[in-house]
Structure formats: structure tokens, C-alpha cells
Structure 1
Amino acid sequence: MIKQILPSEVVAVDVREDPPEATLFPEEEALVAAAVEKRRREFRTVRHCARLALAELDVPPSPLLRGERGAPIWPAGIVGSMTHCAGYRAAAVGRSEVVSTIGIDAEPHDRLPDGVLDAVSLPAERVRHAALAGADATVHWDRILFSAKESVYKAWFPLTGRWLGFEDADITIDAEAGAFQARLLVPGDTAEGLYLTGFAGRWLVQDGVVTTAIAVLR
């Protein structure tokens, strides 16, 4: 599913169920030792997806631990992103000489809980959301907006090492193209000396799941 909204330079693997062959390295097991079984399954399966994707890049299996703010620590020369929601897990990876950053997110295709849209969106985004909802009420545009903001953060953090709040990116969703544009509202200087002004991403609703993805190619 998520492959459909990522460029060919990115390898993605996703599953709809938790496969019995998914396992963790001891170092990974330690990270979720106190977690409930649902969380352990999500953690295990999304890393299973990541290792399958890495194998397509000829990267051998290794522990995928957590770094600052919980971001995954990828093998040298690799950038990537992982996501999971009820009934869906996915990972996307690429070689760092080809891809600068990746951000993916998955959410159930359902209306956001009451109050969440106001908490995560800007006034201009809510105006655009109302227009989208008025044109097509079968799509939960609020959930797509939320997912896009999650993908923006996941793409932003590896490049900058800094927090990005929901209010720090203004997202415009293109309903016809299945795309979105994120305009950054904070300084976007990166560790590589670049300056980010925004991200372009894509979205998809399929089989009850919303996926969003950003991949910045070099």
C-alpha cells in the first residue's frame, strides 16, 4: 500500500497482520520488556518490515534501537521511517546518498476524536479542511491532515535534530492529486548546512487506512 506513494528509490514493506516469524533482537526486546502485548506486537512487526526492506538493499539484519525522541537508529548509510496503526504496519528505507530523509505515517481512516483537529491544526488549515469536507464527506480529511503532520515531523527530525510542533507547519492537501504541501513556519536550517522551507508529500486512503509519505531525494 505505502509503496504506491513513495518513489522507486525507496524500499517499503508493509503488512496487515502480525506474522509469527517476526522476532526481535535481545537489545530490542529490552526496549519493550514492560510494554503490553499489543505494543510488543506492533514493535516486533514493524521492525520485521524494516529488516525485510533493508534486506532488499543488501543490509544484514541488526537491532533497530531508539535514539533521541524515540526516532529509530538506522544502520550506517541508511535513512528510513516506520509506522503502525490498528491492522497495519510499514517501514520504508533508502540509501542516504540517494535519499535525504523519509517520513511515513499510517492512521485508521476515521474521524479524529472531538477536539483533536483544533489542537493540531492552524486556522487556515481548518478553513481548507471545511472546504474539502464540503466537497467530499466520504473522506476523513482531518485524519489525512493529522497523518501528514506526523510524516512532516518524521522527515524533519533526522535532518534538524529539533522538535517540530503541529503549529509549525502549514499543510495544504490536494484532493485530486493525492498530494500535500507542507510550508514550514520555523527556521529550517539542517545539520548539513541546507535550509528547509517545506516538504512535498503524498497521501492514500485504502482498505480503511490512511497513509502519508514524504521522501526527499538528493
Structure 2
Amino acid sequence: MTHRASFRATAVVMDDDSRSFGIDAEPNERFADGVLGLIALSQEQKQIRECSLSVQPSPPNDNGTYRVDLAAGTVAEGCRINGFDTCWTVRNGLPTTAVTV
């Protein structure tokens, strides 16, 4: 589930088809001054500053999908997860993403 003042969305998946599902929608705007310090650890803030100097914060494909590769992989219920495919869209200034693992 995700919600904003003018937007709400929910999704349901069958538990035998996936282990996890996520959906999010956020305004396509910069954080207000001081917000990053409230929501991220100091190491995360440093990584964000370094990343934002060299990476465009937009998905690489214009077809609404992209792939996330996990550097070390994650083990869940005995299965290694090396990455996942996800989808995105931007409508009315609201980027929205969804992923199923």
C-alpha cells in the first residue's frame, strides 16, 4: 500500500507466486532542507551524496521496466536472490514503482 494526499494504491499477490511485493509512489521533488538527516544514517547520507554526483536518478529504460542487481545477493528460505525486475511509471509528477520477489 502507498498513499499521498491525492493518490492511493494497493496491490495483492498470491503467496505461492512470490515471497515479497512492494509498491511506492513519491512526489518527483527534492527533499526539503534537513529531511535527509532525519531519515538516513550518516553513512547512507554520504553514499547518497557520492551517488548523486555521478548517477542520473532516472530508470535506464523508457519501457517502464528496469533490473536491480544485488552486489552480494541475499538468501531467503534457502534461495539466493541476486536481483529482481521491477516496473515504474511517472504520471502527474508522481513516480511510482512496483516489485515482486
Asked if Structure 1 and Structure 2 have the same fold, meaning a TM-score greater than 0.5 normalized by the shorter chain, the answer is yes
| Residue from 64, 81, 85 that aligns with 1:200 | 85
Structure 1 residues 126 and 83, CA, compared in 2 at 3 Å: closer, same or farther? farther
Structure 1 residue runs of 4 or more that deviate by more than 4 Å after TM superposition: none
Say what the alpha-carbon RMSD is for the aligned residues: 2.7
CA distance in 2, matches of 1:99, 1:209: 26
Higher RCO, 1 vs 2 (CA within 8 Å, ≥6 residues apart): 2
The answer to whether structure 1 residue 107 and structure 2 residue 26 are counterparts is yes
Q: 1:99/1:187 Cα in 2 relative to 1: closer, same or farther (>3 Å)?
A: closer
- Corresponding letter in the other structure for 1:178: G
Counterpart among 11, 16, 22 of residue 97 in structure 1: 16
**Distance (Å, rounded) in 2 between the aligned partners of 1:110 and 1:185:** 28
Alignment of 1:159-198 (within 5 A): 173-190=59-76, 192-198=77-83
Determine the C-alpha separation between the residues in 2 that align with 1:186 and 1:202: 22
What is the TM-score normalised by the length of structure 2?
0.69
Q: What secondary structure is seen at the aligned counterpart in 2 of 1:99?
A: coil
Deviations 1:2-42 (A, max 9, x none): xxxxxxxxxxxxxxxxxxxxxxxxxxxxxxxxxxxxxxxxx
Contact 2:73 2:83 in 1 (8 A): no
- Partners in 2 of 1:185 and 1:90 — Cα distance? 30
Q: CA distance change for structure 1 residues 175 and 113 in 2, over 3 Å: closer, same or farther?
A: farther
When normalised by structure 1's length, the TM-score is: 0.36
Which structure has greater helix proportion?
Answer: 1
Q: Structure 1 pair 88/214, CA: closer, same or farther in 2 (3 Å)?
A: same
Within the alignment, does 1:209 sit opposite 2:85 as a pair? Answer: no
* Structure 2 counterpart of 1:203, one-letter code: W
In the alignment, structure 2 segments of 5+ residues that lack a partner are 37-43
| Percent of matched pairs sharing the same residue | 33
Which whole-Å CA distance do the structure 2 matches of 1:196 and 1:122 have between them?
A: 27
Q: Residue 121 of structure 1: SS of its match in structure 2?
A: helix
